[in-house]
Amino acid sequence: MVKNTLEADSIRLSYNNRLILSDISIRCETGSVTGILGRNGCGKSTLLQIIFGSTVTQDGIIRINGVKAQPAFKQPWRVALLPQFPFLPPGLTLHKAFGAFELNVSDFTERVPQFRGLEYEQIGELSYGMSRLAEIFLLIKKESMFVLLDEPFSALPPVAREQVQEWIEEERNKKGFIISDHDYDSVLRICDRLYLLRDGKTWICRGRDDLAAGGYLPE
């Protein structure tokens, strides 16, 4: 297995003179799933966007295999980001969307029965949960070294959450994952490294007890 490493080091970011992220350092490598938990508005999405390169900060550095990373739009095979909100144009058909990601739509529709026969349906015609599931599959399966998933579970029913975990497991020997979600049970089930983001800092956690001690879960 080729082992790639992703490190975000000493990341700081302020909005309107309010410090959102203060000296954050996290890491991830091929084969691992890094979870980031934290309350609403603590900066999880911002941190993922900084790692991806769509939000810029002068303070801190992102390294891939020890070398300063370029923003992902310059090297799209390195880091993929599932944003928190829908990103596929509603007028695109599933078939076209999968083509754009160099993936075969039938690999998806064969595995997720409720999509059979919908290959030429427009994304905008699907329910929110279904279009989200298609987006998540695309991001997990597309060629990349690292996949950042911002709230992949929240909009999905339990069966679909399990499917997403399965797809991550399938790709895990080739990629590293960083996942942030309010569904902490799903994150805890799949991650092997866990950070709590609080007061602009990351705290490494070993499980529920540490999350409770950090004030994220009730004692």
Ligand X SMILES: Nc1ncnc2c1ncn2[C@@H]1O[C@H](COP(=O)(O)OP(=O)(O)OP(=O)(O)O)[C@@H](O)[C@H]1O
Interface residues with ligand X (CB under 6 A) are 15, 20, 38, 40-46, 84
> What is the length of the chain?
219
What minimum distance in Å lies between the beta carbon of 209 and ligand X?
22
Q: Which amino acid is at 107?
A: D
Q: How far is the CB of 60 from ligand X (least distance, A)?
A: 15
Nearer to ligand X, 42 or 123 (CB): 42
At 33 the three-state DSSP class reads: strand
**Min separation Cβ 21 and ligand X, Å:** 8
> Between residues 36 and 145, which has the closer beta carbon with respect to ligand X?
36
Which of 28, 151 has the CB closer to ligand X? Answer: 151
- What count of Cα atoms within 13 Å lies in the side-chain half-sphere of residue 172? 16
- Residue 43 gets the label, from left (phi > 0), alpha (psi -120 to 50) or beta, of left
Please tell me the distance from the alpha carbon of residue 106 to that of residue 125, in angstroms, as a whole number: 19
Token pair for 17: 């003179």
Residue 146: name the closest of 3, 12, 1 by CA: 3
Q: Looking at beta carbons only, is 15 or 128 nearer to ligand X? A: 15
CB of 109 to ligand X, least distance (A): 30
**Which of 15, 120 has the CB closer to ligand X?**
15
Q: How far is CA 21 from the centre of its chain?
A: 18
192 closest CA partner among 33, 39, 74: 33
The nearest distance, CB 185 to ligand X, in angstroms, is: 16
